[in-house]
Amino acid sequence: MNHSLDKILTIKLASLPTPLDEAKALAEKIGLSKLFIKRDDLTGLAGGGNKARKLEYDFAEIINGDYDVVLTAGGIQSNHARMTAAAARKLGLDVKLVLGGPDFEIPKGNLLLDVLFNAEIRYLIDDDANSSLESEMKKWADELSNEGRKPFVIPIGGSTALGALGYVKAMEEISTQLENDNVQIIIGVGSCGTFAGTILGSKIFIPDARVIGISVSRTSDAIKRRTKELINESASLINYKIDNEISIECYDNYHEEYGIITETGKQAIDLAANLEGILLDPIYTGKVMAGLIDLTSKKVIDKNIPVVFIHTGGMPIIFSFENELSDKINCVKIYK
């Protein structure tokens, strides 16, 4: 064994392993010989998603360090914030969220779930810049420390080197589900932790895999820089020596702007729903599927090599886009 991943403490939050399902109709439509969907939307924890795997590492540190309140931050529809709030409640901890984005009247989607978890929220109107959210969170953590509390701050997206190990472990899981290691793995990239873990984990457990990231917010250059840092930090946590320079493949032309729905993303959501009965979301996974469709049509993705689409979750977001997603409603109202 050339790494010490199994020595790192975790706390069980996710329902694992998640299935790796073949999506034949979608593969045919896109023009792929084989498409598998790794169902990390089914990790459990208040609706599922990729963050459950990361939080298993962060919360082990929180519980062992005797912290009594957890803080994190994100956009109005942050899946990470929702799942952090759920994990905190499951483990009997207090939880505070700094969120930002457009003003709202009625909480919807993930924000509604944050409310159900009784998370105390500070909301930055029209400002979801990472720097603003992080500084508000630091201010709040300082206030709590001054009151004698012991706060633990999880950075935006949970993208720490420790959290990224959740996806190193996920690659070990996928390697046991695959018949052949020669695959193309496609995954969404926001704060880079999931991507970093996927690249490092595939290097260790699925060395023949090609990992392709689709940005939902940042430029490819920014992603490459941050992902490289995280890969190196995560590798050193598990005493893994990276021998060759790791190359990072990432595309940033499928998101337009963070948090909005795109036309191609919407088409991808429709396809997955209609052909596979699978729900993608407008901010993350719909855009990743749009990227997969386009990159396959442009032959950047090799149609003859099986593709593994990591479904990172995000389903609650659908319920905050009811206007944009309900235009093709086919319903006759019958009055009696």
Ligand X SMILES: Cc1ncc(COP(=O)(O)O)c(C=O)c1O
Stretch that binds ligand X, among 84-92, 95-103, 182-190, 266-274 (CB under 6 A): 182-190
Binding string, residues 24-63; x marks residues near ligand X by CB under 6 A: -------------------------xx-------------
| Beta bridge partner(s), residue 35 | 307
Count, in order, helices (H) and strands (E) of the chain: 11, 10
Residue 195 found at the interface with ligand X (CB under 6 A)? yes
What is the three-class DSSP state of 265? helix
Which residue's CB is nearer to ligand X, number 49 or number 151? 49
Rounded CA-CA distance 331/323 in Å is: 16
Residue 189 found at the interface with ligand X (CB under 6 A)? yes
**Exposed/middle/buried for residue 167 (C-beta within 10 Å: 0-12, 13-18, 19+):** buried
DSSP 96-112: EEEEEES--SS--HHHH
For the packed helices 285-297 and 263-276, what is the interaxial angle rounded to 10 degrees? 90
Residue 190 found at the interface with ligand X (CB under 6 A)? yes
Rounded CA-CA distance 29/271 in Å is: 9
Residue 44 Cα distances to 60, 141, 201, 304, 315, angstroms: 18, 28, 22, 33, 12
The only residue of 117, 284, 309, 321 in contact with ligand X, by rule CB under 6 A: 284
Contact by Cβ (8 Å): 95, 64: no
Which residue's CB is nearer to ligand X, number 144 or number 156? 156
Which residue's CB is nearer to ligand X, number 193 or number 291? 193
The only residue of 38, 39, 53, 80 in contact with ligand X, by rule CB under 6 A: 80
Stretch that binds ligand X, among 6-14, 120-128, 184-192, 289-297 (CB under 6 A): 184-192
Residue 314 found at the interface with ligand X (CB under 6 A)? yes
Residue 227 found at the interface with ligand X (CB under 6 A)? no
The only residue of 100, 109, 166, 313 in contact with ligand X, by rule CB under 6 A: 313
Which residue's CB is nearer to ligand X, number 38 or number 80? 80
Stretch that binds ligand X, among 14-22, 96-104, 174-182, 308-316 (CB under 6 A): 308-316
The only residue of 47, 193, 282, 316 in contact with ligand X, by rule CB under 6 A: 193
Stretch that binds ligand X, among 146-154, 185-193, 244-252, 259-267 (CB under 6 A): 185-193
Residue 194 CB, nearest distance to ligand X (Å)? 3
Residue 312 found at the interface with ligand X (CB under 6 A)? yes
Beta strand residue intervals within the chain, DSSP E = 20-22, 35-38, 69-75, 94-101, 120-125, 151-153, 184-189, 210-215, 249-251, 307-310
- Active-site residues, by number, are 78
Contact by Cβ (8 Å): 85, 97: yes
Per CB under 6 A, residues contacting ligand X are: 49-50, 79-80, 157, 159, 188-195, 284-285, 312-314
